Structure 1
Amino acid sequence: MGDAPPSSDMRSICIIGAGPAGLVAAKTFLQTGQCRVTVYEKSHRLGGIWALDEDATGGFLHPRTPTNLSRFSVGFSDLAWSSVDIDSHAKGKLPMFPKAWQVGKYLEEYRRRYLPEEVIKYGMRVSKAEKCKQLAIGSKEFWRVTAIDVDGREERADFDLLVVATGFFAKPRPLQHSVDVQGQIDSLSMLHSSQYRSLQDLLPPSSQSLAGKKILLVGGGNSAGEAAATIASHLSNAQWSNDTTQQKAFEGCRIIHITPRPIYALPPFTPANENSTVFMPLDFNFYDLSRRLPGPITGNAGRVPETVKEMLHGVLRKTVGGDQSDLGSDALVASEGAERGTVQVALAETYAEFVRSGLTEVRAGRVASISERDGRVVATMSHGGTSNEIEGIGAVVYATGYSPSPALDMLHPQVKDALHFDESSMRLPLILEQWQTMSKAEPNLAFIGFYEGPYWGVMEMQARLVAQHWLNDQEVLTKPYEEAVAMLDLRKAMQDRALDVPQCWFGDYAGYMEEIASVLELQRNDGNFQERSGAVSAARYLADSDDRKEADATMHDLYDTWQSCTETGKYTARAAFRALQGNWNVHRRITSHNTTYPSGVLTGTASFQFRSPTDAAYDLEYLYIESGTFTLANGATMNASRRYVYRYSEPQDQLSVWFVKPASDLEVDYLFHDLAFASPADAEEAGRHIAKADHLCVKDMYWTEYRLPIQGIALRSFQVEHKVKGPDKDYVSFTGYRRPEKSSG
């Protein structure tokens, strides 16, 4: 475009960043027919943090990391996931929580459909965006943007309007910002949670073993819970796989998680009704429009009133099945009364049971310092005015969040000053309004997705709002929670660690979607849902230029999934599988009606040990290990043990049980049975979930029934009954499982 100011017939838009925010902004402006759009992307490909291949090793995310929310929240209004070719690895069906590399595929298809290739300039890092005026055209302002390619060559161009879509999580926050790391510690690995991929990343430079060592995990947010669960799952897999090298290298290794606040650990599927007979993707429950108060749905943000705080703690406790004291860690039990903070959540499916098992130990407090003494690494932590030392540390993983400030380096200090920029504020570096898009102080500058945890649907709404404002001069009143006074007060409360600051201060997804849709007068596309029922999806709110066919496909998929959950119990098997994880006390009574097969009682222990699936056709796997003492009817006793493998397949929504090989009890042999779960209506009537199976084993027929009284997401006891008949067998085996009692500590 050279140095000449843009012409007045078409508005020229510069967008910085080709992640989800930049792509949806570019598509939105192009479809108005009133804009020329240029997107600068510093990487060689689009996608932002999702710019990943299936086997990529760089980036903030492991390519197989699943999204925190379902595909109905991770997507835009007019591209259905069913239209994206994510190849044979999807096993025939779309995952409910796509992997990171699959999200990258989605974004590539979105670009292919809606953005001409020449719109995006790859390998161009914007180093400077200056606000300029030219006297020849009066006082009109424009932006002069300088971008640098990989060879250091500069390119300058002028634009009417500037959109920053660089993403909020610009750079991992160094551990040294919050912890006094004394000197250079070369004897162990210290890495940000975004850098962790496998246990090999934790090995010290001079050794190939962490046996008997502690992995110190620092942080109290969602990423800390995710990292703790991921590392624990890798440790569990190392212990229960056939890789003896891994077993020895990490034998006796465990995690010490230091968190300044209790966190509730939630799995991807949570109960949708009072008696936990229906399970749905957690965002279906979080953003169910029928749960909003009567009247127009409006958004909320900022500090949390005491009544709301208490209500949210109550909801979370009901969801997880209690106050978490049964996990055996005081650090996970929220205090009562005035000292209780806001709800903090980790979307980490396996976290809680790894805590209960002891593989992860949670301690309340903050790490003050890490130092090396006589070849030993020691961490000092503080809590409640006291200090304690942690020794035997073999690796440090810090989930200390990200600094957004580097994403703003291209802006002139005067521009940032006008936006109340505060580099020390990691959570609220700018003071914006209009649903966190703009400021009256800089009317030709907008931000898309520049806040903690941006929702894809909200990013699309933000882009529409900015386009409407710039192209149609539509003014919108500032919401009270975005007034500068309120925002500056919130920033100070964050810095003071006030107890009423929420985990996600701008997190009312349903409220913002409904609010902005009303302002923009978008078309509703509720599909088969009533207007005030079902989950929020970007496909429910359409502009005239959106592809209605794609939106309808998404809404059809959403409604079918919703109905399958409520009517046939879809994902109950997944919820049950998750609830089985960990350790159990076992009591089994065998009543035989045939003298050739003994009656008796077994007492002992059992565990469902998490490990990576040993068959790619399955998504999750446990090794079941049982041992105990079997007492015959005549009083004689003997040691008894058995092993099975439990598997879950998402495409089939199937929980199955498999025999292990007699000569190699870590390896799967053949199928024992597939479990068929009763419908939610039958579970409601029975007061528990029921799963049945039958199986012919050589000449013996097994009829099996599992009785699973799940409360919230928790399972504290369950029963399994086998009825067996054959030429030499005629008995009933009834086994009761109960969680070992643990006291907080």
Structure 2
Amino acid sequence: MSKSVAVIGAGPAGIIAARKLLQCGQFTVTIFEKGDCIGGSWVPNGIINPNMRTNQSKFTMSFSDLSWESLGSSPVYPKAADVYLYLEEYVKRYIPVRNIRFRTAVVKVEQIPEASVAGGNRWKLQLHETIADGDSHEYNPPPSFTVGLVTPEKVKASRKMIRSIIDGDEGYVDTRRIDELAPIGILGDSYPQFVKTGRILHVRGTLSRLKQVDEEYATAIIQNVKKDDYFGVDSVCAVIQATGFDTASSLDLLSSQIKTALDHDPTCSPAPFILDTKFLSQNLSLPTLGIVGYPGAYWPLFEMQARAIVNAWTSSSSLKLTNTPSDVGQRSKLRRYYTDLRRAFKEGRKAEVPHNPFGDSLGLLEQASRELDLERFDLGSSEAEGFVCSARYTEPGSDKTEAMKTLMEVQRVQRRGRQGSFLARAVARGLMGKWIAAELSSNGEFEVVQRSFHPMYPTDEAFDWEYLMVGKGDEKTVRKVYRYSEATDCITVWNVAEDGSNTGTQMATFDFKHAQQEHGKHTAVTVLAPLHSQGGSVDKMAVFRFHFAGSLLKTWTMRWPGSPYWIAELNFVRAGLRQWH
């Protein structure tokens, strides 16, 4: 007789949990979903705008047995609507409709003692149904899961790594100018540019109160890292509460007895309950309860936790968790960390509390893969190299077709990068902000020209990024639209209609692959080819050199058609640097 398992919620974590339980073949699985479709936060018309770009790549927002490539062409950073379609296809392939009860909310969960049930208890769920209207080498030691509070040494090391990537300054860190908090990890490639250009003002602290100035604006009073220090941010016209998902609220349906068993502490939001075994998916005292998706929103972790739970529930008929010396040591370390974390949080020692308290995803995945005896599917990469995603960890003997597709796409993207692709993307991202230069005017005199690239939501779905470029000189103001397409990896320049209400005709294309141009280590070279002139002579085109430091575009120079001279001493520079070359 198969064991019956209830899965609460049909979001990514619930879906992968149900898939692994069904794949095992030893369980009867029912997903209880309070909504009328799968997807969780990714459902259409839900809390996430369907046009929002994800801050994780498609390679980390996928499972090992379904590649994005099986759904057709997709950008590296998909939209929320695309994520829903991925989840929909996953369920269609692997989870029968009969295993899902829609419009059924679990409002209470409790345990009822029963000696005949494995584990000594059975679960009782109180439901509320809604009627619808309608090549490798050995390396030592291997990565393993680690946790710990933040130290000044960790802060410095993290900032050094980040600065070396973003600013290209070989990790130089001016310790006099950093606060004591650990850096916040932001995935995606556009956020740092918004911060660098001042479009986003990143303020460390906590919003204490709003002081109204007039009918339209207020001053935000911010409590600094040091609790007795406050400062103001002026001209606030709106406040958006974007403090993340409330993990603690998901425990409301649990009985007080279960909460006690989980060491529930509602006053500590980073760790409201304790999961001390099976890779943060179970508590030793509740062997028949599994929690997938905590912590974070990293899909490979979801899949690994689901595997760990299935492993625990099939390793013995009593469903007891293993108690090997390794397990005992890991639990002991985790328990000590929970104690330290909760104390630091309650005492307000923000500098010691990690932004993601359990953020060592790589270590957890690698350790879990070894302990669960999974197959490493490296596809040409060594065990210590390559992209970390679900496709690299597969069940022994499983069909690896989908994992192969994902890893081949990873290699294709990496190969394109080594061959010079994505230069247009890097330039497009780097253009955001204000630039200043000196140019020859029509009367042969130099004039100061300022160019501002204002990001806009793309007015055409064929493009991923779009700017309104406003150029101001002594003689006139010029407006153009710059557009970037990820599919073609191309920047195009367009006219603006005379009334400024829409985009006019295409004028030119930045050709980064022109045969007569070569790129340098830190320099991307392109020609501005007028429409229908791609591949023509450079003498008839403007040539641009974009100079990078790390991932940031620092300066750019140009040479006008027919001119033998570069305007080298008059490089474009960021106005904020107040620096001339």
Task: Give 2:408's aligned residue.
Answer: 556
The answer to whether structure 1 residue 414 and structure 2 residue 245 are counterparts is no
Q: Percent identity?
A: 28
Q: Helix, strand or coil: the match of 2:310? A: helix
User: d(CA) in 2 for partners of 1:22 and 1:139?
Assistant: 23
User: d(CA) in 2 for partners of 1:71 and 1:417?
Assistant: 38
* Partner AA of 1:447 in structure 2: I
Q: Helix, strand or coil: the match of 1:716? A: strand
Post-superposition shift, 1:716?
A: 2.3
Where do 1:675-690 residues align within 5 Å?
675-677=511-513, 683-684=519-520, 687-690=522-525
Q: Helix, strand or coil: the match of 2:540? A: strand
**Farther-moved stretch of structure 1 (530-539 vs 394-403):** 394-403
Post-superposition shift, 1:615?
A: 2.5
Post-superposition shift, 1:319?
A: 2.2
The answer to whether structure 1 residue 703 and structure 2 residue 549 are counterparts is no
Once the two structures are superposed, residues 72-113 of structure 1 have per-residue CA deviations (whole angstroms, 9 ceiling, x without a partner) of 10000010111126xxxxxxx311111111111111111111
Where do 1:282-681 residues align within 5 Å?
294-321=140-167, 336=176, 340-347=180-187, 350-351=190-191, 354=194, 360-370=200-210, 379-383=220-224, 385-388=228-231, 393-433=236-276, 434-451=278-295, 453-473=296-316, 475=322, 477-478=326-327, 479=330, 482-495=333-346, 496-544=348-396, 546-566=398-418, 568-589=419-440, 599-629=444-474, 639-661=475-497, 664=500, 667-677=503-513
Gaps of 5+ in 1: 1-8, 86-92, 153-288, 324-332, 591-596, 630-638, 725-729
User: d(CA) in 1 for partners of 2:220 and 2:423?
Assistant: 42
Q: Aligned pair in 2 of structure 1 residues 68, 492: CA closer, same or farther (>3 Å)? A: same
Q: Helix, strand or coil: the match of 1:380? A: strand
Is the contact between residue 28 and residue 463 of structure 1 (CA under 8 Å) also seen in structure 2?
A: yes
Q: Helix, strand or coil: the match of 2:452? A: strand
User: d(CA) in 1 for partners of 2:383 and 2:232?
Assistant: 56
Q: Aligned pair in 2 of structure 1 residues 627, 34: CA closer, same or farther (>3 Å)? A: same
Q: Aligned pair in 2 of structure 1 residues 139, 122: CA closer, same or farther (>3 Å)? A: closer
Is the contact between residue 557 and residue 566 of structure 2 (CA under 8 Å) also seen in structure 1?
A: no
User: d(CA) in 2 for partners of 1:650 and 1:481?
Assistant: 48
* Partner AA of 2:412 in structure 1: D
The answer to whether structure 1 residue 61 and structure 2 residue 53 are counterparts is no
**Equivalent residue in structure 2 for 1:22, among 5, 14, 25:** 14
Where do 1:239-254 residues align within 5 Å?
none
User: d(CA) in 1 for partners of 2:195 and 2:334?
Assistant: 42
Task: Give 1:70's aligned residue.
Answer: 57
User: d(CA) in 2 for partners of 1:15 and 1:659?
Assistant: 54
Post-superposition shift, 1:460?
A: 0.5
Once the two structures are superposed, residues 39-79 of structure 1 have per-residue CA deviations (whole angstroms, 9 ceiling, x without a partner) of 11111111110112xxx2xx221111111111110000010
**Equivalent residue in structure 2 for 1:714, among 552, 560, 568:** 552
TM score, norm. by length of structure 2: 0.86
Task: Give 1:104's aligned residue.
Answer: 84
Q: Helix, strand or coil: the match of 1:445? A: coil
Task: Give 2:572's aligned residue.
Answer: 737
Post-superposition shift, 1:447?
A: 0.6
Post-superposition shift, 1:513?
A: 1.4
TM score, norm. by length of structure 1: 0.68
Is the contact between residue 580 and residue 715 of structure 1 (CA under 8 Å) also seen in structure 2?
A: yes
Post-superposition shift, 1:528?
A: 2.5
Is the contact between residue 376 and residue 393 of structure 2 (CA under 8 Å) also seen in structure 1?
A: yes
Is the contact between residue 678 and residue 689 of structure 1 (CA under 8 Å) also seen in structure 2?
A: no
Aligned pair count? 553
Post-superposition shift, 1:659?
A: 3.5
Where do 1:217-228 residues align within 5 Å?
none
Q: Helix, strand or coil: the match of 1:27? A: helix
* Partner AA of 2:32 in structure 1: Y
Q: Aligned pair in 2 of structure 1 residues 581, 139: CA closer, same or farther (>3 Å)? A: closer
Q: Aligned pair in 2 of structure 1 residues 46, 482: CA closer, same or farther (>3 Å)? A: farther
User: d(CA) in 2 for partners of 1:449 and 1:404?
Assistant: 10
Is the contact between residue 490 and residue 509 of structure 2 (CA under 8 Å) also seen in structure 1?
A: no
Post-superposition shift, 1:553?
A: 1.0
Q: Aligned pair in 2 of structure 1 residues 472, 682: CA closer, same or farther (>3 Å)? A: farther
* Partner AA of 2:543 in structure 1: E
More strand by share: 1
* Partner AA of 2:575 in structure 1: P
Once the two structures are superposed, residues 556-578 of structure 1 have per-residue CA deviations (whole angstroms, 9 ceiling, x without a partner) of 11111111112x12222111111
The answer to whether structure 1 residue 127 and structure 2 residue 107 are counterparts is yes
User: d(CA) in 2 for partners of 1:612 and 1:130?
Assistant: 48
Is the contact between residue 527 and residue 555 of structure 1 (CA under 8 Å) also seen in structure 2?
A: yes
Is the contact between residue 573 and residue 677 of structure 1 (CA under 8 Å) also seen in structure 2?
A: no
User: d(CA) in 2 for partners of 1:539 and 1:139?
Assistant: 34
Q: Aligned pair in 2 of structure 1 residues 96, 374: CA closer, same or farther (>3 Å)? A: closer
* Partner AA of 1:368 in structure 2: S
Task: Give 1:218's aligned residue.
Answer: none
Post-superposition shift, 1:350?
A: 4.9
Is the contact between residue 334 and residue 340 of structure 1 (CA under 8 Å) also seen in structure 2?
A: no
* Partner AA of 2:345 in structure 1: M
**Farther-moved stretch of structure 1 (361-370 vs 640-649):** 361-370
Once the two structures are superposed, residues 6-59 of structure 1 have per-residue CA deviations (whole angstroms, 9 ceiling, x without a partner) of xxx21111111111111111110111111111111111111110112xxx2xx2
User: d(CA) in 2 for partners of 1:80 and 1:127?
Assistant: 35
Post-superposition shift, 1:610?
A: 1.2
Q: Aligned pair in 2 of structure 1 residues 489, 362: CA closer, same or farther (>3 Å)? A: closer
**Equivalent residue in structure 1 for 2:42, among 32, 36, 50:** 50
Where do 1:219-238 residues align within 5 Å?
none
Post-superposition shift, 1:702?
A: 2.7
Q: Helix, strand or coil: the match of 2:238? A: strand
